[in-house]
Structure 1
Amino acid sequence: MALLFSLFLLITTCIIFTTQAQTTVSNISLVSSLSPTGDSHWLSESGQFAFGFYPYGNGFAIGIWFQNIQPRTVVWTANRDETPFSSHATLLFNTEGRLVVQENQGREISIIGNASFASSASMLDTGNFVLFNSSSEIIWQSFDYPTDTILPGQRLSPGHRLVSDVSEANHTSGKFQIVMQPDGNLVQYPVGAVKHNTAYWSAGTFTAGDNVTMNLDNNGHLYLLNATGFIIKNFTETVSVSCDPIHRASIDADGIFRVYSHSSNQSGNWSIRWSSTENKCDPYGLCGVNSYCTLMDRNPICKCLPGFDFIDPDWTDSGCRRNYSEDACIRKDQNFEVQDMNSLSWEEDPYATFESISKDDCREECRRDCNCEVAIYKNLKQVCHKLKLPLRFGRRGTGGRVTTFVKIVTGFQTINEGRVKKSKLRMDFFITGIASLTVAFLVLALSGVIIYRHRIQQYKRISDQRDARFVEDVTLKSFTYEELKSATNNFRDSIGRGAYGTVFRGIISNGRRIVAIKRLERVVDDGERDFRNEMKAIGKTHHRNLVQLLGYCYDGTNRLLVYEYMKNGSLADFLFKSNLKINWEGRLAIILNIARGIFYLHEECHIQIIHCDIKPENILMDDKGHAKIADFGLAKLLLPNQSKTFTEIRGTRGYVAPEWHRNMPITAKADVYSFGVILFEIICCRRRTETNVPDNEAMLVDWVYDCFKANEVSKLVPEDEVDKKKLGRVVKVGLWCTQDEPSSRPSMKKVILMLEGTVNIADPPCPTSIVSSQSLE
């Protein structure tokens, strides 16, 4: 106890000394400015830290770095997820007391939020950049808004986090984060997946209480401090106070949190003093989808499952995809086997679970189910989970407690094998036939060249006319494949994967605009006319609740679409993964947003578009909290054999309407059914199926109807106080939308009227009953 008290006095003394030292720093006055050229920056008093422009990507970023340590070590970046600034930009501390960047186009960007009315600024020797008011009080400081690093004297407060960079050279937000939770626990998660089963490291202090902070002192001592001033957790050993070395604590691009030290203000590498884990495969999501991490000489290596190849062989953490056709199981013209993979773990999001089942039965359950791509068998509990792709967070190290069953195709050539054999066959045919065709070739060569040139000229004239008509019809920007390859850094920054392909984050317009670029897969090989028609349809749609399409690529066999970038992610993230819960009124607004977007596609668009895959993952959220529908119209771009019969199911299990299974024509009412399921998920803040709830609540649609029938709809919402009349109306709308018979479901126009309270709503029957007497058209 005496040692802890002495340490606390020492820390307090250091803080007081630091505060006194800060007051001696010369201030940066109003109207001061910096430019990216000429090594222009503002130094701290000792020259240890610099604030200003530094070279980044194809331009410049604004940040804080160690001035005397080479190579440059950046510890804070302003607006890290925005595009780099050009060499013509100017950083200005303007007369309003705001720090802004002015570009030659006249655009002005604030780099520290809305802080204003500052009288001066300082780059302090602690590495903290601060703004002062006229009373010399700090009104903003970079220490309150860390990116991936904290410095001595800086603390990470409850509810705050550090987010890794994408790489050492790319300072945009990466895959990993470390969060100082309000319960006092320090935890590491993948970005966008903050839940207990995705934590890959924690301090284990979840009972420490409120107001616990993470701190780093000048001696490299990293510790957790509670509200009473006591250290509740040490991560590094305490050493005597010394001017050297220099320290920092950073969450690195590989997902590991480390404390670094540097022996002097000169060139040289940083030394690792402490790290959250020594196993470099521990961070969830280090490898991409459908791949797993394994160690080779203590270094992480990403590997694909059997039957899968890397999406980008040059960037192995981009994930993997099948090397055979996705619908091979449905066609029933191929043989399948299930291969066992031991000691692998994955994020578990099963669509079906079986208990008290043998390993062989689990393997067989997956083999005969075309929806099952992978099965996870827990050997000790005898539990079998059936999963669809994509798989996430794969890594070795379950000690044989888990077996992964992977379904692969046998008895036919995979895509890559087929290409190789086809190439060999062509070569053999060429070698065999060349001798007999030599004489004939020489005779016909001249005439062949003449005919070929003539046809090429004709083709070019037709192609030019065709492309001209295409440009006239589609008011979108046309990109080449190389342009989009460059915009996405060779398709390395994957931000999601859906039914139609992979989505990448890209930068266009000379680095001025961030976009989402979807690389379509499984599109028709010979459907140029279909693609053009679909582009015309999508290009002419414009609605505030649809994600805007900005451009396209039709280049050889490559089909890509360029959309506006929605940095707040999907509705699924908001509802099921985020700690920030949407209130009741906000959820109602989202429901209306989605309804209006679907109504536009069904009735206001110049041609009717049936989405076919309405689900929370395809609803994206803009920065104002408005919901926008994505992937509309893309169903028509799929391979023909996925829609040639009425029984071929499109969409996502649990959201597809019953008529998909009944050999019935698919109409706009299929989207209405999917909307009804999403409506229930939004008001209840839970998935359509749950396993950790009572059996009568597991199926959401059934539970909603039971609560409605028992006049207990208030059980459905997590809030204590919700307008029961409004809730009852919304529930009735959802029950009508999820009726078994398409004719019993309302049109989206009537859905909106019912949600707005414009029309009365009759009590709906059970969604699974056959109702044909009443139509709500």
Structure 2
Amino acid sequence: MDSLALSCLILLSLPLLPFLSAANIPLGSTLSSTSNNSSWISPSRDFAFGFRQLNNNSDLFLLAIWFNKMPERTIIWHANEDNHPVLAPRGSTLELTATGLLLKDPGGQAIWDEKPNKISFKSPTDTILPTQIFDLGSVLVSRLTETNLSKGRFELHFSNGSLQLIPVAWPTPSQYKSYYTSNTCSANSSESGINYLLFRATLDFDGVFTEYAYPKNSAPNQSWFTIQRLPNNICTSISDEFGSGACGFNSYCLLQNGRPFCECPPEYLFVDPTNRFSGCKPNYWQGCGPDDGSRNAEELYEIRELADVNWPLGYYQKRFPLALGAYDYTRTGFTKALIKVRKGGFRVDFDGNTGGKKGIPILRGALLLGSSVFFNGLLLLAISLLVFVWRKRKDGNKVQRSSISETNLRFFSLVELNEATNGFEEELGRGSFGIVYKGVFKSASGNAVAVKKLDELAQEREREFKTEVSAIGRTHHKNHVQLLGFCDEGLNRLLVYEFMGIGTLANLLFASPRPDWSLRVRISLEIARGLLYLHGECNVPIIHCDIKPQNILLDQDFTAKISDFGLSKLLLSDQSRTRTMIRGTRGYVAPEWFKNVPVSAKVDVYSFDVVLLKIICCKRSVEMELGEERSAILTDWAYDCYVEGKLDVLVDNDKAAMADKSRACKWLMIALWCIQEDPLKRPAMKMIVQMLEGYLEVPSPPMPLLHSLQLTES
């Protein structure tokens, strides 16, 4: 099959309902999502339709069609709406009815209802088969990753008689310039070998449109083999000046066996270590240290060479973030990138060690004094004295650390923190329990930290201190602000955190101009994942109790991280609810706080809703004239906008949000589910994350019952 034939795969219709009737599936037949064995088999036994478990430990099932006679059981189609897979919880049922197919959850509520006059069975997902019709206007959408079936970064369009491969500005639906366009299509795919080979053409998650084949009577360890790919080199085919290219920003693309493989420049790391297409970020501190003004640039930075790699945008000095990076196979030896990185400015711990250079100052001193036995003797005595003092201090720190159980945090002395903050000079912010200052540890190559100084002589401050150290000391997640250590001397209680360069989410959301929609989407997902970790994935479940934009901080890469665990509540192994005093911030407090009943992690779900609404509309509060009513609270107004179909009003005509209207509407529906007065009706964070990521459909929310303390902060 030539490249034109591949690019013009016009395939014979494989709608599911004729497939079912040919297999003599009677009306009223059902399947249940209890195991992977629940399926209907085609007459040829080459295909199966039914439930596929997402993974061995998942309670979610995909409704799909797959190749039945091979060990891989490759999925070729799955039920989806708005380019998101329809997932069914364990115990869901699918029924073949007189009007189509009806999928219900274990409670009997409809999840997906497929009518014969709808086209989703004729519309492929990421794969088409020989003789399947690919009509004008049809689209293939790649997966997000190899294992994540959500809408990905690439689309294949059939329009104006040609096929176009187009990159997408994920997570928005906006499109960049196409990176492959076929000639006018009129040919059908060849059917040669169809009796002993299975074929498929898939738009893979990496953007390569690939034709695969599989021998029908093959050995058990046989895999699909590739016939051909489009484009030949995706690394250099994507040339739009907008977007990141085949790989993420600040990375570069190599071609390995016809597929893109992403790498980071020297001293850069992947943003998501589990996803090589996530882009890269520096593995060193980029700010200025306290001594930088008095040191030559040659002492602070060095140049690393990267051969045969180029980022085409810009001439000699490239613009950040770096985009479209690729290995240049055509001019090997003629291209060289020079990467400026900081010397010793990475892998810093808070014992003052950087990059394994511990002891260098002492070594330099020994070399300077080495010509004198007398001075060497003095030096040996001084070193012994320093070691003795250091050990005594370390032992003392261990004793004081023991008052905070089950943490491996560093103890800082008040003297150290006073010096780092220059006498607590630069204030970053303040809350009800104290003030946060910026600090810099001179012994750690200028690493900035945030030092939270709690008010003295207050029992609630003492409780907050112990709670925060105990809670966050047990956690480790990329969407939580890292607690580095603490100080517990006399009446002084201080907490030392990683420094978050951008500041609070509140400052970002309510600034002008408002942040880009795609950034707000990413931040929302990061907050949700951070809360999911607290509620069910860390060693001891934690209720945060004070989720709000002021307690979401952003690092220099605009990664959202949850902070301020001072009001949090640990749950024992046998607890799902706990009694505690009323706490939190007005506008984010769930109704159950005021009913003298045990609270659960659903109080954080309620607070997350208000944060999500503010991210969607970028408003602190809502005031408007509504007849005799002088104001409307945010949740009331959001529900009115949902009922009246005024999403454009809610997002204030944000063009990017309206271009992603389907997601914005679904997220508004999720938010309205989260503010139900009955906490049992609110979804858990696990389900919220699945709905936000598109793995679960979102049913229409009921009207929320609002209490008098929902008014948001102005």
TM class by shorter chain equals 0.3 to 0.5
TM-score by length of 2: 0.42
